[in-house]
Amino acid sequence: MLQVFENLSTLHSFRQSLLQSGLSLGFVPTMGALHQGHLALIERALQENDQVICSIYVNPTQFNNAQDLAKYPRDFENDLAQLQKFSNLHVFLPNDQVMYPAPALLKFDFGYLEQVMEGHFRPGHFNGVAMVVSKLFHLVKPTRAYFGQKDLQQTRIIHRLVQDLAFDLELVICPTIREEDGLAMSSRNRRLSPSERIAAKLIPDTLFSAREVIQVRKNSIEEIKNLVHKHFEEAGLRIEYFEIVDRFTLLPIENLDNVKEVALCIAAYLGEVRLLDNVIFGV
């Protein structure tokens, strides 16, 4: 039976029992509205650990847009129903009072990592991410923590967080799970209208096409970026950014001569819904 921890005392008791038994603990932090991408993280965590905790918490400090926070999909009842099928899985379901008994004053500075792409367009976002992830790591004390590659910049931020604060855990980054038409699975996809959902296919199609062009090296980096922006403009969709960067440093790539792995990163709007995606490949 699925155990749900809503307060810290029950979570601490459970964690202490695992430590005493020498059992490993996997951790999958989520903001709910679970989809197959989340479930794939949980399945992998269960394969690699004795027990797994999935947290469900919509973290207010990582939203720099109050409307986006208000509209973020919440369906805790359905989330818990999806998780009932798993054995050795437990849920941490805190509220704001548990996670933020007082306003957080600590500020994180990740330098260049938070100044580009998501950091540039969503100021304060990664400070909120780092704050809640740090709290969750301290509370859950996982052996391994699992995140999806779709939020590539976030994974680099968390990697640095683990490194700088010496968290005693293994960070596991899992491949993006996609719909049949290629769209990356996201909780925000629920907010798309039927026509927007069809139009959203342009995002993965563009990434995969750009990857092919780069691999044959017939166009310059600047030409490829211009073509991507032109495709979105012709489709009547708003692209916020499209960047060609080093997969590890997230520094922009001007030529491919000294690069091992490339990441194509994109953020675009379908109506009011903002979607992220990326493709990583060797060159």
101 falls within a domain:
yes
Question: For residues 173 and 154, what is the distance between their CA atoms, to the nearest angstrom?
Answer: 11
User: Looking at the structure, do residues 35 and 89 belong to the same domain, yes or no?
Assistant: yes
User: Looking at the structure, do residues 39 and 156 belong to the same domain, yes or no?
Assistant: yes
Residue 217 has pLDDT above 90, yes or no: no
* 8 A C-beta contact, residue 244 and residue 221: yes
In this prediction, residues 88-113 reach a mean pLDDT of 96
| Domain CATH for 223 | 3.30.1300.10
User: Which of 114, 145, 174 is a domain's end point?
Assistant: 174
Nearest-CA neighbor of 130 among 93, 158, 102?
A: 158
Q: Token pair 């953020």 is at which residue? A: 267
Q: Identity (one letter) of the amino acid at 175?
A: P
Question: For residues 89 and 46, what is the distance between their CA atoms, to the nearest angstrom?
Answer: 8
pLDDT at 254: 85
User: Looking at the structure, do residues 169 and 198 belong to the same domain, yes or no?
Assistant: no
Residue 247 has φ and ψ, to the nearest 5°, of -60, -30
Q: What is the pTM of this model?
A: 0.96
Distances (CA, A) of 229 to 40, 62, 142, 224: 32, 28, 42, 9
User: Looking at the structure, do residues 82 and 213 belong to the same domain, yes or no?
Assistant: no
User: Which of 153, 174, 195 is a domain's end point?
Assistant: 174
Question: For residues 152 and 134, what is the distance between their CA atoms, to the nearest angstrom?
Answer: 18
Q: Identity (one letter) of the amino acid at 276?
A: L
User: Looking at the structure, do residues 111 and 54 belong to the same domain, yes or no?
Assistant: yes
Among 97-101, 185-189, 217-221, the least confident range: 217-221
9 falls within a domain:
yes
Q: Token pair 């780092």 is at which residue? A: 130
179 falls within a domain:
no
User: Looking at the structure, do residues 234 and 144 belong to the same domain, yes or no?
Assistant: no
pLDDT tens readout for residues 183-200:
999 999 999 999 999 999
Q: Could you list the residue range(s) of the whole structural domain that residue 194 is in?
A: 187-277
What's the angle, vertex CA 93, arms to CA 171 and CA 79, rounded to 5? 90
Nearest-CA neighbor of 156 among 186, 183, 126, 136?
A: 126
pLDDT at 115: 94
Question: For residues 47 and 45, what is the distance between their CA atoms, to the nearest angstrom?
Answer: 5
283 falls within a domain:
no
pLDDT at 65: 87
| Domain CATH for 46 | 3.40.50.620
Tell me the pLDDT band of 277, cut-offs 50, 70 and 90: very high
**What whole-number percentage of the chain has pLDDT above 90?**
92
> In whole angstroms, what separates CA 268 from the centre of its chain?
16
User: Looking at the structure, do residues 58 and 163 belong to the same domain, yes or no?
Assistant: yes
User: Looking at the structure, do residues 15 and 87 belong to the same domain, yes or no?
Assistant: yes
pLDDT at 143: 98
In this prediction, residues 44-72 reach a mean pLDDT of 95
Question: For residues 5 and 98, what is the distance between their CA atoms, to the nearest angstrom?
Answer: 11
pLDDT at 219: 83
- What mean pLDDT is reported for the chain? 95
Q: Where in the sequence numbering do the catalytic residues fall? A: 38
pLDDT tens readout for residues 20-52:
999 999 999 999 999 999 999 999 999 999 999
48 falls within a domain:
yes
pLDDT at 216: 86
pLDDT at 227: 93
Tell me the pLDDT band of 64, cut-offs 50, 70 and 90: confident
Q: Token pair 């590890």 is at which residue? A: 248
User: Looking at the structure, do residues 156 and 260 belong to the same domain, yes or no?
Assistant: no
